[in-house]
């Protein structure tokens, strides 16, 4: 595969998808660093996989349908760590 070079637009798109804000300096930095990393991981194409045996069947892990008070948080506990609350709700700026 040809060497992939991340464009500014691609970096911005990823930042958008991931809800991450970047400075112009960071955008340029990440263009370079992401391109280097992608170039390295291309080495995986060197491994042509033969059929790999399927993982052993394991017991399904479920829980029985019962409520339990052990982990339930009181509203105070649930809201204790937020800076944005109103009455007994979490709050955010009005969503249009």
Partner 1 sequence: MNIVGTSGIELIRLLQTKKMSSSELQEFFLKRIKKYDNQFNAYVTTVEEKKNVSNGQPLFGLPIAIKDNFCTKGVRTTASSKVLNDFIPPYDATVVTKLKKAGCILLGKTNMDAWAHGSSTETSDFGVTKNPHDLTRVPGGSSGGSAAAVCAYLAPLAIGSETAGSIRQPAAWCGLVGLKPTYGRVSRYGVIAMGSSLDCPGSITRTVSDAALLLGILAGHDPYDATSEIISVPDYLSCLKNKEPLTIGVSDEYFDNVQPEVSAKVQEALDVFRKHGHRIKKIKLISPKYAISVYTIIQRAEVSSNLARYDGIRYGNGREYLGQEAKRRIMLGTYTLSHGYYDAYYKKAEIVREVIRADFKRVYKDVDVIIAPTTPMTALKIGEWEKYPFFGEMMDILNEPGAIAGLPAINIPVGLDSNHLPIGMQIIGRHFDEETIVRLAHQYEEETDFFGVTKQILKKYQD
Partner 2 sequence: MIMSTYQPIIGLEIHVELNTAAKMFCQCPANYFGKKPNTQTCPVCLGLPGALPVPNRKAIYYAQLIGKALNCRLNQSSKFDRKHYFYPDLPKGYQISQYDEPLCSEGKIEFYGCHTEHLIRRVHIEEDTGKLLHEEEVTLIDFNRSGVPLVEIVTEPDFHSAEEVKMFLEQLQILIRDLEVSDADMEKGSMRLESNISMGSQKSGGKLPDYKVEVKNINSFRFVKQAIEYEIKRQIDLLQKGGSPRQETRGFEEKKGITYSQRTKEEAHDYRYFPEPDIPPIEFDNAHEKKIEELLHARSTFEMRRSLLMQKYKISNQNALIIASDKKKFQFFERCVLVADSRLIARIANIMVNKPHMVKNTAPAAFVKTLTAISEQKHVEGEELVSHIEKILEANEKAVNDYKRGKQNAIMFLVGLVMRELKGQADAQIIRKKIEEKL
Q: Which residues bind partner 1 (CB under 8 A)?
A: 11, 14-15, 17-22, 26, 30, 33-34, 36-38, 40-47, 49, 52-53, 55, 59, 61, 63, 71, 73, 77-78, 80-84, 90, 92
47 interface partner picked from partner 2, partner 1, none, CB below 5 to 8 A per type: partner 1
Which of the choices partner 2, partner 1, none does residue 66 contact, using the CB cut-off of 5 to 8 A by kind? Answer: partner 2
How big is the CA angle at 23 (ends 17 and 26), to the nearest 5 degrees? 85
Query: Among 59, 51, 11, 13, which Cα is nearest to 35's?
Result: 11
33 binds, among partner 2, partner 1, none (CB under 5 to 8 A by kind): partner 1
Q: Give CA separation, 95 vs 16, 81, 91, in Å.
A: 18, 22, 10
């Amino acid at each position: 595969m040809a060497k992939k070079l991340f464009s500014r637009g691609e970096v911005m798109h990823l930042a958008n998808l991931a809800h991450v804000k970047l400075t112009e300096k960071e955008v340029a930095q990440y263009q370079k660093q992401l391109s280097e990393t992608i170039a390295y991981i291309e080495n995986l194409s060197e491994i042509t996989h033969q059929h790999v045996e399927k993982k052993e069947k394991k017991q399904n892990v479920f829980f029985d349908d019962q409520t339990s008070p052990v982990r339930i948080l009181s509203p105070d506990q649930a809201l204790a760590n937020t800076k944005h609350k109103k009455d007994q709700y979490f709050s955010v700026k009005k969503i249009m």
